[in-house]
Copies of this chain bind each other. A is one copy, B any other.
Amino acid sequence: MKFYDCKTAPSPRRTRMFIAEKGLDIETIQIDLATQEQLGDAFRAINPACTVPALQLDDGTVLAENLAIASYLEGTNPEPPLLGRDALERALVLEWNAKTEVAGLSGVADALRNRAKGMKGRALTGPHSFEQIPELAARGMVRVQHFFDLLDDRLADNQFLAGDFYSMADITATVVVDFAAWVKQVPSDKQKNLRRWHAEMAARSNYKA
């Protein structure tokens, strides 16, 4: 099994944190996004979507979506459970993982990729080139604030996003909140629940992954 990573990038950090929490030892290969190695022929042959993370299984199958990788690793290494232990827990993990991807991750990515000089022609990840849309960067900034409010609300009555247990949803949200700092968006003093939760996340051993 081989894990294709980029140590500086947020998206594969979700897989890095998941692997660290499971305590797994997986051969890891760095793909240099700074030099667009992900668009080169060698990596394109492994993952035509030209994205990291990618997990190549021993049978050759390549998984290139964080949730798919997490699900495979959970199925083959059940402890500690990070995707829920019963039907309701599993549903709540997927619910908050999805909300975080849709409301949070796409907002931050829009804000960054449609404005950063180094992202010209790279407004979306993947093999195709897309020009930046400045209005989309501005919209992304607004969405990040809505996302912070959503998390703050949820975390008023829940220790973790899916309830009273740590899960993949917390991993995704940790990565997204930290990614938002790239566009200078951080939780405000008023978002006390979100700040309480983030301090707890930052104190976990997998945070540095």
Contact = CB atoms under 8 A, between A and B. Distances in A.
Contacts of A143: 124
A74 B86 CA distance: 11
A32 interface: no
Main secondary structure of the interface of A (DSSP, over half): helix
Given A63-B95, A72-B88, A75-B86, A146 B128 contact: yes
Contacts of A106: 106
Interface stretch (A2-10, A132-140, A190-198, A201-209): A132-140
23 contacts: A49-B99, A63-B91, A63-B92, A64-B95, A65-B94, A65-B98, A65-B99, A67-B98, A68-B94, A68-B95, A68-B98, A69-B91, A72-B88, A75-B86, A75-B88, A75-B91, A76-B87, A103-B126, A106-B106, A130-B139, A133-B135, A135-B136, A136-B136
Given A75-B91, A76-B87, 14 more contacts: A63-B92, A65-B94, A71-B87, A72-B87, A72-B91, A74-B87, A75-B90, A103-B126, A106-B106, A128-B146, A130-B139, A130-B142, A133-B135, A135-B136
